[in-house]
């Protein structure tokens, strides 16, 4: 589930950190840059594990900061396909289940990866697995659930530009009414998503198997 990844980067140390030891100032800037961030094709960075090397400081004309080449190891959340994890059901819809692991909640179990004979109940707002004619098991919100990782999906999210850079194609004309300003469409795709399944023995609510 967690991996150690080695990276190299050029880190900018601002003048207000010059009073700190070099390693402390570098560690602070590394955590600010990488902690709780998704690196494309790598995973979610949890924290800096350690610093392997720090190069000599470099100066840039017109900038009072110091730039140093740093090599370090990161703790990265990147489960492998087929790994079984445990989380909590955050929400249920007719399309599937969203799972939360406290530090990461972009986990989706689509309906095609649910147990056979499972169906969504709008009245109960939960998924129900019909084991047989007499027994039904419920997947309720906030229940602890085991799931299997089936796929990783990375989305290269582009940084947001200034408002004046919006083009007509970025606006939602269908939702705009007469006299109202057209609002830009919001890109809600997360940078890192796990597609999971819940369709084999041991999967589903933990309480089922206790």
Give 18-46 as a 3 state SS string.
CCCCHHHHHHHHHHHHHCCCEECCCEEEE
Which of 43, 59, 77 marks a domain boundary?
Answer: 77
Q: Specify whether 121 is located in the same domain as 64.
A: no
Q: Specify whether 52 is located in the same domain as 123.
A: no
CATH (domain of 104): 2.40.50.140
**β-strand partners of 73:** 6, 50
pTM attached to this predicted model = 0.80
Q: Specify whether 60 is located in the same domain as 133.
A: no
In sequence order, what are the residues at sequence separation of 6 or more whose Cβ sits closer than 8 angstroms to the Cβ of residue 178? none
pLDDT for the residue 47 = 94
Which pair of tokens denotes residue 149? Answer: 């990782």
Residues 89, 198: Cα–Cα separation, whole Å = 12
Pick from 128, 87, 132: nearest CA to 108: 87
pLDDT average per 10 residues of sequence, the chain (210 residues):
95 94 95 94 95 93 94 96 96 95 95 93 92 88 96 83 52 46 58 94 90
Rounded to the nearest 5°, which phi and psi values hold at 106?
Answer: -90, 60
Which of 21, 49, 77 marks a domain boundary?
Answer: 77
Place of tokens 């995973």: 43
CATH (domain of 38): 3.30.1490.120
pLDDT for the residue 162 = 62
Pick from 65, 77, 75: nearest CA to 10: 65
Number of independent structural domains in the chain:
2
pLDDT for the residue 161 = 60
Instruction: Domain of residue 51: give its range.
Output: 2-77
Q: Specify whether 132 is located in the same domain as 59.
A: no
pLDDT for the residue 133 = 79
Q: Specify whether 128 is located in the same domain as 56.
A: no
């Amino acid at each position: 589930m967690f991996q150690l990844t080695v990276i190299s980067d050029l880190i900018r140390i601002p003048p207000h950190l010059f009073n700190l030891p070099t390693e402390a100032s570098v560690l602070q800037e590394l955590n600010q840059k990488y902690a709780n961030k998704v690196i494309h094709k790598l995973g979610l960075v949890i924290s800096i594990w350690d610093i392997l090397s720090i190069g000599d400081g470099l100066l840039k004309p017109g900038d009072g900061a110091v730039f140093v080449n740093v090599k370090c190891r990161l703790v990265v959340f990147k489960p492998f396909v087929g790994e079984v994890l445990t989380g909590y059901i955050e929400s249920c819809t007719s399309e599937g289940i969203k799972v939360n692991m406290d530090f990461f909640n972009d986990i989706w179990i689509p309906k095609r990866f649910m147990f056979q004979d499972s169906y969504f109940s709008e009245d109960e707002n939960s998924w129900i697995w019909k084991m047989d004619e007499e027994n039904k098991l419920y997947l309720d919100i906030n229940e602890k659930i085991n799931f299997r990782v089936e796929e990783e999906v990375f989305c290269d999210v582009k940084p947001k530009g200034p408002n004046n850079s919006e083009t007509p194609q970025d606006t939602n004309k269908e939702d705009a009414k007469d006299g109202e300003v057209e609002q830009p469409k919001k890109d809600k795709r997360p940078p890192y998503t796990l597609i999971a399944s819940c369709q084999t023995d041991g999967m589903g609510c933990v309480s089922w198997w206790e």
